[in-house]
Amino acid sequence: MNFQNSITFAQQMDKQDELRSYRNKFHIPVINGKETIYFTGNSLGLQPKSTAAYINQELEDWAKWGVEGHFHAKNPWFSYHEQFAKPISKIVGALPKEVVVMNNLTVNLNLLMVSFYRPTKERYKIVCEAKAFPSDQYALEMQVRSGGFNPDDAIIEVAPREGERTLRHEDIIAAIENAGRLEVYKLEKNVSILATIAGAAPMIGFLGTVIGMVLAFHQLATSSGQAEMGALAEGIYTAMTTTVAGLIVGIIAYMGYNHLVVRTDKVVHQMEATAVDFLDLLNEPA
């Protein structure tokens, strides 16, 4: 079929659509005297014309039966989940025993997230649209708090640019990169202390060596060459002790520094790999 970008072709396709009669089963909002073209079914779908009759039936059963409507209403409320299984299964492409209608939006979002959001100290942040729908926002905050983290730190909100209504890919990428740089800074902020200790400790030890030797020679000089061996040994002992202590501290600090650098590099590599995978997902053709 040769598709054309024209209103005539679209109207022709509508006439050939086997499901075209279903349009008449819904109330189409009329704004400024014209029927709207409705694209927000993901948020709130059009109202079926049969809705009022179904709701009135439930209200009548509620008035007639009260709490006994759970068992004696035209559609007993107690077994609603069983009544919905078969028709819902056809919509989602599953067996009736594999589906259930339950809870409300926020509860279902939490059940969905708890199955895959397993935060750790290294990986706990969530990127989402700014000012998300309240139920979405509550679900994110509940999951973050249940993991022991602060929503203000864990949830990264990305907003459209001023005058725009949709998020740009580059803004999402920038948010991920900024969060990554912040985490790298947190990982590396104390590593420099170990590097300083690793470099300074041997020098401090060497300084102690020099001081010890100066004391020893000072003792020798002030005794007219007749210094006691014990006094000289004490100075040399001080010199050697500070050298050994400085080297031990320096070696331990240096090993610790290298260990943390390797771990930091590993985390950074994992972050970069995850970011690349996410960006590839964003750029996949629809």
Strand partners, 128: 157
User: Which residue is listed with tokens 């001081």?
Assistant: 211
**pTM for the model:** 0.54
**Structure token digits, residue 202:** 């041997």
What is the percentage of the chain residues whose pLDDT exceeds 90? 35
Tens-place pLDDT, residues 220-268: 667 665 656 666 677 677 777 777 777 787 788 778 777 777 777 777 7
DSSP for 165-224, please give it. SS--HHHHHHHHHHHHHHHHHHHHTTHHHHHHHHHHHHHHHHHHHHHHHHHHHHHHHHTT
Among 44-53, 92-101, 201-210, the minimum mean pLDDT is found in 201-210
For residue 207, pLDDT beyond 60: yes
Tens-place pLDDT, residues 72-119: 999 999 988 888 999 999 999 999 999 988 888 888 888 888 888 999
Strands (E), the chain: 30-31, 34-35, 126-129, 155-158
The pLDDT value given to residue 40: 87
What is the percentage of the chain residues whose pLDDT exceeds 70? 91
Question: Residue-wise over 78-97: b if at least 16 C-beta within 10 A, else e?
Answer: eeeeeeebeebbeeeeeeee
For residue 181, pLDDT beyond 60: yes
For residue 147, pLDDT beyond 80: yes
**Structure token digits, residue 56:** 């009135």
C-beta of residue 144 within 8 angstroms of C-beta of residue 127? no
For residue 120, pLDDT beyond 70: yes
CA separation for the pair 25, 47 (Å, rounded): 9
**Structure token digits, residue 242:** 């500070």
How far from each other are the two terminal CA atoms of the chain, in whole angstroms? 21
The DSSP element (H or E) to which 75 belongs, if any, is none
